[in-house]
Every structure is written in C-alpha cells, then in structure tokens.
Chain A
Amino acid sequence: MITIEAKNLSKQYGTGDAAVMAVRDMSLKTLPGEFLSIMGESGSGKSTLLAMLGALNTPTSGSYMVDDMDVYGLSADQRADFRREFLGFVFQSFHLVPYLTVEENVMLPLVATTKSKKEKQLLAEAALEKVGLQGKGGRLPNQISGGEAERVAIARAVVNEPPILMADEPTGNLDSETSEEIMGLFTELNEQGITIIMVTHSHECARYAKRIVKVSDGLIVTDSAIEKVA
C-alpha cells in the first residue's frame, strides 16, 4: 500500500512577462487505497497537477514523495521505471496505439519487463477479463466502441498491477450510460486496493470518489471527504 505526498508543488510555464503559474503551492497527501477526485474548471491547473503526480511533468518547485521515494529526484529513466511499476494511466482520448490489437495495447506496459511472452499474454487476457472485454483481444482500436476503448485503456493501466491509477477525464468522451459503467469499474478496482486519482469536471463521476479536491487558478480551494450512503 502506497502513500503519496506532494508538498508545495508549483508549476510555472514560460518566463518573464509570458510566465503563467499553472499550479501554486499545492500540497496533497493520499492514504493507501484512496479514491481521489480532482475537480476544477478548464485551466484551473488540475491536469498539470495530475501530470506532476504522474511523474510526467517536473514541478518548478516543491517536493513529491511516493512512500519514501523522491520522484523528481530520480533520473528520467528511473522515473520511467517508476511509472511502469507504480502507476497506471487512463487518458481522456484513450491513446490506444492504432496499429496494435486490443490485446497488444494492453500488453504494452509489459514490453519492458522480463516476463515471458506467455506470461504477458495471460496477464493481458486477465486484465481484459477484468474490464469485461474477454474475447475481443484480437480487434484493432478502430473496430471497437468508445466505451470499449476506454475499458482497453483501463486494462492497459492495470495489467502491470500498479498500486496507483491516474485518470484524466476518463469519461470525457463517453455517454452517460457508458460513463457510469466505467466509474463502476473504477470503484471495483479501488475496492481491490488500488489508489485512484482522477481528474474530472463531471460531478456525476466525482461522486464515485471518496474524496474530492477542488482546484481553481492553480490553488486547492477545498479538500473534502465524501460521505457514502450505504
């Protein structure tokens, strides 16, 4: 179980008169197994915050620790290893590789591992089963629906069994019914112990989280736990 702690994270784009502070002095701590939703308007800094938490965007200042690991103290290759071992990403536009089949897309995070071809295949099949796409591994991304593509993206994010899942507007391109299914899937994954950090501007989706952090103008404005109705 993993603890995430960001302290005084700031991110400035550009310099001089063109400088824009996307994130200002944000501090955030998540407990193991948390389901955190980051909400805010467009340009509020939520995606920049997620990119920094995802070890994709080096902050201008502040520190970011995952357990006892100083993520931005790592080299670029070590950060790549960190992302592979600790994080799963679900992007808004799915970002599936178009010339790879569904199963091959899911297997991508395993390419850099020493697992055998058979092991990789079994893990990919298990991940596809977890998201309800068993039997569709041989299809290409352009042969599946948007909802299925999102599920493939989720399967790819969890195939390596990472302790943390990061999602950027995971339902942004989906209808409400499919969004609900996807959020149900996230809830299942969270119940299995995966920490989820999700950026969304949808209140419908945010209600699946256990905690909501609202950001505006690069600052955290509220950070509150949600009471779940049994």
Chain B
Amino acid sequence: MELKDIAFLNLRRRKAKAAFILAGLMIGVTTVVALVTLFQSVSEDISHKMEKYGANILVVPKTENLALSYGGISLGGISLETKQLSEADVDRIRTIPTAQNLAAIGPMVLGAVNVNGKSVMLAGVDFSTSRLLKPWWEFGETLPENGQLVVGAIAAEILNAQVGSEIQLGVHSVTVAKVLGKTGSQDDQIIFIDTKTAQSILGKPGAVSLVEVAAHCTDCPIEELIAEISAALPGAEVMAIKQVVQGRMKAMNQFQEFLYGISLIVVLVGCLVVLVTMMSSVRERTTEIGIFRAIGFRRSLIMKIILYEAALISTLAGILGYAAGITSSLVALPFFTGGEGAPLYLDPMLAGGAIAASLVLGLLSSVYPAVIASRMDPNEALRTI
C-alpha cells in the first residue's frame, strides 16, 4: 500500500465531500473554459464579419497640409496635395512581416475629370479587391472589365448615367457597367474605373493616391500592422480607420475583461469551496491523522496524503470541467452569434491549461488544510475519542 492508495480510498469513502470539492472546482473550470472558448469563437466570428465591412487601414502620402473639408463639405474644391504613392509602394505593403494578416490591398488613384462640363472625381480602383474592400458595392458574380465605369448613385443622377450608357472622359470613351446604390458615403459622388485606365485618363502613370487595406482582426493588434506598414513606407501616413477598428477592439477588450472578471470570481469561489471542504475533511479525520502520526508517519507524509487527494480531485475536475465547458460553449455559441452557426474555436492549449490550472488551484487551496493536518498533535488527536 502506498500513500496514494490511502488518498484514493479515503476519497472513495467520503464520496459526498469528494463530489463537493469536485463540483466546486469543476464549476470554476467549466466557466473559464466556456467563457474563453466563447470569447475566442465570437472573436473569430466577429473578425470574419468585420472583414465584410471593408478596409480598416488607410495608407496616404505624408502631408503637412490640413484637410479643407468637414462632413463632406469641401472649401473651394481645391487640392494642394501634390505627393503621390507609387505601385512599388503597394508591393512593399505585401512584403511586411505579418502580410498574412492582410486580407486585401486596394490601391486607388484619384483625380478630377470633366464630364459633360461637370467636374467629377474619378477614382481608379482594383475591382478584384472590391468584394473585400467595398462589399456594399454588391458586384455579384461578374466584375466590371477594364475600361468600364462604375458610377456612384448621386453622380449617376447628376451625369444622367445609366448602365450601358457611354461617357466621354477626355479622349477615352467608356461604358457604364454599374450604377451603385446609395451608400451615404463619398462613393455616391464618385465615378470608378480600373486603376490603369484611371492613371492614363488622369495622366498619372504608376501613381497611387492612397491604399486601402483590409486586415484580419483575429490577429490584431492593428497597431502592429500599422507600425510594419509605416516602416515599409516611410513616406506614407498609415492610419487605422479608427471608428471601426478602435470600436471593434474596445468592444472586444471590454468583453474580454468582463469574461476574465467573471472567470476570476468563479475560480475564487471554487478555491474557497475546496479550502473549506478540505478543512472540514481534515477536522473529521483528526483521529485517523492521529493514528498515522502515532504509528510513525512524518508530517510531510500527512501533507502528501491531503495533497494527493486534492491532486486526484483537481485533475478529474480539470478534465470534466474542460469537457463541460466545451459542451456549454457549443450550446451557447448560437445565442452569441445570432444563430448563424459560427464554428467553435477549439484551442488544444486550453485543454492542457484547464487541467493544469485546476490541479494548481486545487493544490494551492489544499495547502493550508494539509499544513493544519500535518501539525496535529498525535496525542491530542487520539484523546479526542
């Protein structure tokens, strides 16, 4: 017979107490696992959804001028900006260390053109990235071909443009492939064409006015991406589209802090349950511990028995708690993701972490009862009968 046999047999005998300790720890582990898994799954889901909302990083040439527009109202329609980025700069963005986090890179060249005597802004864009960068354009199966025009809703009204109509841009005659629906954004007043044609029309070969970037936000912080792009393009100003990114990050951080706070409270309660139940168990076993001490068990052996018991229950609580946590997450996830069947994020590290944390917390909560048990005076313990 070994010490662990004594621990195991005692647990088997005191089933109710063992079950109580198990439940206390298991509830803690289940809660933490469920909350962490839910948070990770919901984060993944939100991240995927946010990508559908377009670009979240904007790269523009560095400027010392202040903007002359506010809320869509421009003062005089003048532009003092002369600096440009180049297509080589766009290629440099693709080589940053965490380029795998970039979902889409959309260079844009901007300039004013005259259509039927009216000044209008022409944007040269890469239509192939527009599904990620401008998902609200709703291109469907087919994208506009090179040389075809996409017209914003207000611009179409003013220019009297319809799908299929021909528009003369300088020496180029282009066909309208699509009229965009109203978005409430600047897009409504702009006409779009592929980058090469725009550069040709605007007389800016190889030039890029700005670059829109959509980053996966699972692997944010976005600040890291910004820093890397800034390092790759020292002549550019790299900005997060703050309302989207910061709002997203802040909401997620607050959610995370809330979950961790809840987890901490539940885990502390679990530890308290272990401590109180172990103390009660030690007091119940005064005579038994007295016998052990009388027949020659050192204090350390008494401690080991108590800690073995704690280790056995805690490990079991970790395993069962992890399983229960994952099951709970599976059940709860649809409620957090609007019933859209988001996939459950399974982190193998969480399984190991849950068992290890349960073991450590169970042992830590049992150290005091174990010390009390080991310090029992055998003579006093045996006199209690």
Where the two chains meet, the residues of A that have a C-beta atom closer than 8 Å to any C-beta of B are: 51, 54, 56-57, 76-77, 80-85, 87, 89, 91, 93, 95, 97-100, 104, 107-112, 117, 120, 156, 160
11 pairs, CB–CB < 8 Å, chain A vs chain B: A56-B378, A77-B298, A91-B382, A95-B287, A97-B6, A97-B291, A111-B301, A112-B296, A112-B297, A112-B298, A120-B1
Contact call A95/B298, Cβ cutoff below 8 A: no
Stretch at the interface among B7-15, B69-77, B113-121, B219-227: B7-15
Of the candidates A80, A87, A156, A160, the one having the most CB atoms from chain B within 10 angstroms of its own CB is: A80
Contact call A99/B379, Cβ cutoff below 8 A: no
Check: B157 CB closer than 8 A to any chain A CB: no
Contact call A104/B5, Cβ cutoff below 8 A: yes
Contacts A100-B6, A117-B1; is A108 near B295 (CB within 8 Å)?
Answer: yes
A167 nearest CB across to chain B (Å)? 13
Q: For the complex, give the distance between the alpha carbons of A82 and B379 in Å.
A: 15
Known: A57-B379, A111-B2. 16 other contacts (CB 8 A): A51-B379, A54-B294, A77-B300, A80-B298, A81-B296, A87-B296, A89-B294, A89-B295, A95-B382, A97-B288, A99-B12, A104-B1, A108-B1, A108-B295, A111-B3, A111-B297
Complex interface: chain A residues within 8 A of B178 (CB): none
Check: B299 CB closer than 8 A to any chain A CB: yes
A115 nearest CB across to chain B (Å)? 11
Q: For the complex, give the distance between the alpha carbons of A208 and B378 in Å.
A: 29
Contact call A56/B379, Cβ cutoff below 8 A: yes
Complex interface: chain A residues within 8 A of B216 (CB): none
Contact check: which of B6, B9, B13, B295 meets A109 at CB < 8 Å? B295
Nearest CB to that of A113 among chain B residues?
A: B296
Contacts A95-B385, A97-B288, A112-B301; is A156 near B295 (CB within 8 Å)?
Answer: yes
Contacts A51-B379, A108-B1, A117-B2; is A84 near B296 (CB within 8 Å)?
Answer: yes
Interface residues of B, count at CB 8 A: 27
Complex interface: chain B residues within 8 A of A156 (CB): 295
Check: B336 CB closer than 8 A to any chain A CB: no
Which 8 residue pairs spanning A and B have beta carbons closest together?
A84-B296, A99-B13, A56-B379, A57-B379, A83-B296, A107-B1, A109-B295, A77-B298
Complex interface: chain A residues within 8 A of B13 (CB): 98-99
Complex interface: chain B residues within 8 A of A77 (CB): 298-300
- Interface residues in B291-335 by Cβ distance below 8 A to A read 291-301
Main DSSP-derived SS at the B contact region:
helix
Q: For the complex, give the distance between the alpha carbons of A104 and B6 in Å.
A: 9
Q: For the complex, give the distance between the alpha carbons of A110 and B6 in Å.
A: 13
Contact call A83/B294, Cβ cutoff below 8 A: yes
Q: For the complex, give the distance between the alpha carbons of A80 and B2 in Å.
A: 18
Complex interface: chain A residues within 8 A of B294 (CB): 54, 56, 83, 89
Contact call B1/A99, Cβ cutoff below 8 A: no
Q: Mark B343-384, 1 if CB is under 8 A from A, else 0.
A: 000000000000000000000000000000000001100100
B243 nearest CB across to chain A (Å)? 65
Complex interface: chain B residues within 8 A of A76 (CB): 299
Complex interface: chain B residues within 8 A of A97 (CB): 6, 288, 291
Complex interface: chain A residues within 8 A of B3 (CB): 111
Of the candidates B1, B6, B292, B295, the one having the most CB atoms from chain A within 10 angstroms of its own CB is: B295
A172 nearest CB across to chain B (Å)? 12
Contact call B293/A80, Cβ cutoff below 8 A: yes
Q: For the complex, give the distance between the alpha carbons of A83 and B9 in Å.
A: 25
Complex interface: chain B residues within 8 A of A84 (CB): 295-297
A85 nearest CB across to chain B (Å)? 7
Complex interface: chain B residues within 8 A of A51 (CB): 379
Nearest CB to that of B285 among chain A residues?
A: A97
Q: For the complex, give the distance between the alpha carbons of A107 and B297 in Å.
A: 13
- Interface residues in B245-303 by Cβ distance below 8 A to A read 287-288, 290-301
Contacts A51-B379, A57-B379, A93-B385; is A81 near B298 (CB within 8 Å)?
Answer: yes
Contacts A111-B301, A112-B301; is A85 near B379 (CB within 8 Å)?
Answer: no
Q: For the complex, give the distance between the alpha carbons of A87 and B298 in Å.
A: 15
Q: For the complex, give the distance between the alpha carbons of A97 and B13 in Å.
A: 11
Complex interface: chain A residues within 8 A of B291 (CB): 91, 95, 97, 108
Nearest CB to that of B10 among chain A residues?
A: A99
Q: For the complex, give the distance between the alpha carbons of A56 and B298 in Å.
A: 13
Complex interface: chain B residues within 8 A of A117 (CB): 1-2
Q: For the complex, give the distance between the alpha carbons of A91 and B291 in Å.
A: 9
Complex interface: chain B residues within 8 A of A87 (CB): 296
A86 nearest CB across to chain B (Å)? 9
Contacts A93-B385, A99-B12; is A109 near B296 (CB within 8 Å)?
Answer: yes
A19 nearest CB across to chain B (Å)? 18
Contact call B378/A111, Cβ cutoff below 8 A: no
A94 nearest CB across to chain B (Å)? 10
Q: For the complex, give the distance between the alpha carbons of A82 and B10 in Å.
A: 26
- Interface residues in B1-39 by Cβ distance below 8 A to A read 1-3, 5-6, 9-10, 12-13
A58 nearest CB across to chain B (Å)? 9
Complex interface: chain A residues within 8 A of B10 (CB): 99
